[in-house]
C-alpha cells in the first residue's frame, strides 16, 4: 500500500506486476488523493487491517512473521499520520501489542516451558482465525437472497365486499303480481268452522306477514307469501302490508335464480348476499 501512495522506500517489499519486479511507479499512473483514507475507512478495526496484511502477503495465520507484519503495519500508521488522518486508539494499541510480541520472541524460552504455550503469537492467531471465520460466514450470508435487494414481498390487495344492490321493482311489476294473485285459482276452504275477522287492520296484517317470514326463514315468492283470501279487501290489505314492510326494511327483496325476485326477512337476505359476495 505504501508503494501505491508514494515512491517505494528501500525497506519496503518490491512491487510486482504480472510477475515482473517494479522498482518505481510508472509515469502517468494516477492514484486518487484519498486512496489511503478510503482503505483505512473500509476496515472495521486494527485486527481487520492486520488480517488484510497477512492475506495480501499470503502468510500463515498460525506462523506469523511478526517482524515483517509489524513493519508493514507501522508503515500504514506512519502514512496515515503523514496525511493527517485521525487514528483510533485501537490502532495504536495493536501497534504496541505487535511490538510486545516481537520483543517476547527475541527473548530466550525457558527449557521447561512448552513451546506452544510460550508462543506469544498464539492469542493473536486465535483472534485472527475468529475474525476470518466471521468474515466467511458474513460473505456466505450475503450471497443468500435478501428482501428488498433480490426479491420483494407482494401482498394481495384486500377489498371489502360491496353490498348487493336490491333488484329494481317497478310499478308494472307490482301490477303484474297483483294480476297473478287475482288469476290464481281459489282453493277450497277446509271443512271446518273457523272464526275469521273480515276487517283485518293494516298493522295486524304487517305483524302476521313478518312473523310468517321469520317463523320459516327462507325466500318467499310473491304468490306464496300472500295466501288466497276470501275477499279482495283482505288481499289488498295484505299487499299494502307487504309494501309497507318493504319500505320500512323489515323485509327485503332478493334476486331469484330464475331472474325474478323473492321476499325474505332481513337476516335471510343478508345471509344470501354474503353467499353471493363469496
Tens digits of per-residue pLDDT, 99-141?
A: 888 888 887 766 665 555 667 888 888 999 998 999 899 889 8
% of the chain residues with pLDDT over 70: 65
Q: How far apart are CA 29 and CA 79, in angstroms?
A: 19
pLDDT band at residue 4 under the 50/70/90 scheme: very low
pLDDT score for 137: 92
Q: How far apart are CA 267 and CA 276, in angstroms?
A: 14
Least confident of 58-72, 246-260, 262-276: 262-276
Does the structure show a pLDDT above 70 at 40?
A: no
pLDDT band at residue 259 under the 50/70/90 scheme: low
Does the structure show a pLDDT above 60 at 243?
A: yes
Backbone phi, psi, residue 16, to 5°: -130, 140
User: Ramachandran region of residue 182, left (φ > 0), alpha (ψ -120 to 50) or beta?
Assistant: alpha
Domain edges within the chain: 2-142, 171-183+197-277
Q: Which CATH number fits the domain 171-183+197-277, given the four candidates 1.20.120, 1.10.10, 3.30.1490, 2.40.30?
A: 1.10.10
pLDDT score for 195: 54
- Say if residue 167 is exposed, middle or buried (CB neighbours under 10 Å; 0-12, 13-18, 19+): middle
Q: Across the chain, what does the average pLDDT equal? A: 74
Mean pLDDT, range 183-207, rounded to an integer: 69
Q: Are 173 and 206 in contact (CB under 8 A)?
A: no
Q: How far apart are CA 2 and CA 6, in angstroms?
A: 6
The Cα diameter of the chain in Å comes to 133
DSSP string, 197-258: -SS--HHHHHHHHHHHHHHS-S-B-HHHHS---SSHHHHHHHHHHHHHHHHTTSEEEEE-TT
Q: Which residue has the higher pLDDT, 163 or 277?
A: 163
Mean pLDDT, range 172-190, rounded to an integer: 75
Q: Which residue has the higher pLDDT, 62 or 39?
A: 62
Least confident of 13-27, 37-51, 124-138: 13-27
Q: Are 270 and 260 in contact (CB under 8 A)?
A: no
- Say if residue 136 is exposed, middle or buried (CB neighbours under 10 Å; 0-12, 13-18, 19+): exposed
SS (H, E, C) 7-42: CCCCCCCCEEECCEEECCCCCCCCCCCCHHHHHHHC
Q: Which residues contact 39 (CB under 8 A, 6 or more apart)?
A: 1
pTM for the structure as a whole: 0.40
Mean pLDDT, range 32-58, rounded to an integer: 74
pLDDT band at residue 76 under the 50/70/90 scheme: confident
Does the structure show a pLDDT above 50 at 274?
A: no
pLDDT score for 254: 79
Amino acid at each position: 500500500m505504501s508503494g501505491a501512495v508514494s515512491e517505494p522506500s528501500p525497506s519496503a517489499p518490491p512491487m510486482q506486476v504480472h510477475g515482473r519486479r517494479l522498482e518505481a511507479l510508472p509515469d502517468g499512473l494516477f492514484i486518487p488523493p484519498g486512496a489511503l483514507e478510503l482503505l483505512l475507512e473500509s476496515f472495521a478495526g486494527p485486527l481487520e487491517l492486520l488480517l488484510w496484511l497477512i492475506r495480501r502477503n499470503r502468510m500463515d495465520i498460525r506462523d506469523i512473521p511478526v517482524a515483517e507484519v509489524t513493519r508493514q503495519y507501522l508503515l500504514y500508521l506512519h502514512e496515515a499520520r503523514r496525511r493527517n488522518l485521525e487514528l483510533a486508539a485501537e490502532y495504536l494499541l495493536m501497534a504496541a501489542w505487535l511490538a510486545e510480541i516481537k520483543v517476547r520472541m527475541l527473548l530466550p524460552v525457558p527449557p521447561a516451558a512448552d513451546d506452544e504455550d510460550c508462543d506469544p503469537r498464539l492469542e493473536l492467531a486465535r483472534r485472527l482465525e475468529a475474525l476470518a471465520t466471521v468474515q466467511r460466514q458474513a460473505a456466505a450470508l450475503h450471497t443468500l437472497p435478501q428482501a428488498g435487494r433480490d426479491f420483494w414481498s407482494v401482498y394481495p390487495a384486500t377489498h371489502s365486499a360491496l353490498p348487493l344492490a336490491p333488484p329494481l321493482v317497478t310499478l308494472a311489476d307490482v301490477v303484474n303480481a297483483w294480476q297473478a294473485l287475482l288469476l290464481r285459482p281459489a282453493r277450497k276452504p277446509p271443512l271446518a268452522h273457523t272464526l275469521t275477522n273480515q276487517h283485518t287492520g293494516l298493522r295486524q296484517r304487517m305483524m302476521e306477514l313478518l312473523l310468517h317470514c321469520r317463523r320459516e326463514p327462507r325466500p318467499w315468492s310473491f304468490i306464496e307469501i300472500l295466501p288466497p283470501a276470501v275477499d279482495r279487501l283482505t288481499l289488498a290489505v295484505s299487499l299494502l302490508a307487504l309494501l309497507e314492510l318493504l319500505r320500512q326494511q323489515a323485509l327485503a327483496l332478493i334476486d331469484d335464480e330464475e331472474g325474478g325476485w323473492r321476499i325474505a326477512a332481513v337476516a335471510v337476505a343478508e345471509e344470501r348476499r354474503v353467499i353471493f359476495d363469496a
